[in-house]
Amino acid sequence: MDPLKIIKVGGNIIDNPEALDRFLEQFAKVQGPKILVHGGGKLATKLAEDMQVPVNMIEGRRITDAVTLDIITMIYAGKINKNIVAKLQANHCNAIGFTGADGNVICSVKRPVKTIDYGFVGDIVKVNPEVPDVLLQNGVTPVFCAITHDNNGQLLNTNADTIASALAVGLSKYYATELIYVFEKNGVLMSVDDEDSVIENINTESYEKLIKDGVIADGMLPKLTNCFDALKAGVSKVIIGNASVISNKNQKYTTLKL
């Protein structure tokens, strides 16, 4: 059986219609079972600004009050998700759009207040893989946006990287799962100013050294911590690279293994 590829697309690809079209055309050609996970933060920010709703970010993380939750639900679960599903259908990839609430696939709890109140932000506590497994067995591709629920009727804004990781772990009981993060960079870079300085292989030992040397820091640090947590929980491989990584045409990308 082919491995299950769980592909998270983000960065400037979601914000650029032409880049998104090219990516979805490539994604539709990926053989074997697959799941797509997406965010859409910049488009949500633009709509909030157009509606004159204040955008509050702390260390790159969105404070999600009730009005902001309405906006991101409209953008993530509505405009972006359904646009992606329609474009996949046009590329002969049968897809269904999901939030975590659909099929009760991803359950979260509202993030507890410590020093910062993030509002309606969810931390994942459970993945129910049965529904996506049935779809995958029947040749249907689930497309998940960055919204989950708490089983008490409340939707929650949830990090798309974390959703992809949680799905990969949850479905690893049925499949060999590969987690692929696609964004505008060629991979994890030794130097942020040099696009060709891709670190092609990272394991637990080299990861610790890269953190110590300050190569992995800022936003890349939680992303890679998430990746290694997924590997320890049963995911077979994690890949980070640009859109061409899914078509096997990329010269360089980053592979993470234990």
Q: For position 95, what pLDDT does the model report?
A: 98
Q: Is 32 annotated as a binding residue?
A: no
pLDDT score of 250 more than 70: no
CB 76 within 8 A of CB 40: yes
b (16+ CB within 10 A) / e for 193-223 = eeeeebbeebeeeebeebeeeebbeeebeeb
- What is the arithmetic mean of pLDDT over 103-128? 96
Burial class (CB in 10 A: 0-12, 13-18, 19+), 234: middle
The span from the CA of 258 to the CA of 202, in Å, is 8
pLDDT score of 195 more than 90: no
- Maximal C-alpha separation, the chain: 50
The span from the CA of 74 to the CA of 125, in Å, is 24
Q: Is the dihedral of CA 143, 146, 150, 154 positive or negative?
A: negative
Q: Is 157 annotated as a binding residue?
A: yes
Q: Is the dihedral of CA 97, 103, 106, 107 positive or negative?
A: positive
**What is the CATH code of the structural domain delimited by 4-256?**
3.40.1160.10
Question: Which range (47-61, 83-97, 154-168, 171-185) has the least confidence?
Answer: 47-61
The span from the CA of 224 to the CA of 207, in Å, is 9
The span from the CA of 228 to the CA of 29, in Å, is 28
Q: Map residue 209 onto helix, strand or coil.
A: helix
The span from the CA of 68 to the CA of 119, in Å, is 10
Q: What DSSP element (H or E) covers 68?
A: helix 66-72
Cβ-Cβ contacts under 8 Å for 158 (sequence gap 6 or more) = 100, 106, 108, 121, 122, 123, 124, 146, 147, 148
Rounded to 5°, the CA angle 160-143-101 comes to 70
Question: What is the domain partition of the chain in residue ranges?
Answer: 4-256
- What is the arithmetic mean of pLDDT over 151-176? 96
pLDDT score of 184 more than 90: no
β partners of residue 141? 95
Q: List residues with catalytic annotation.
A: 8, 11, 41, 161, 223
- What is the arithmetic mean of pLDDT over 240-253? 82
The span from the CA of 93 to the CA of 87, in Å, is 9
Please provide the average confidence, as pLDDT, over all residues in the chain.
92
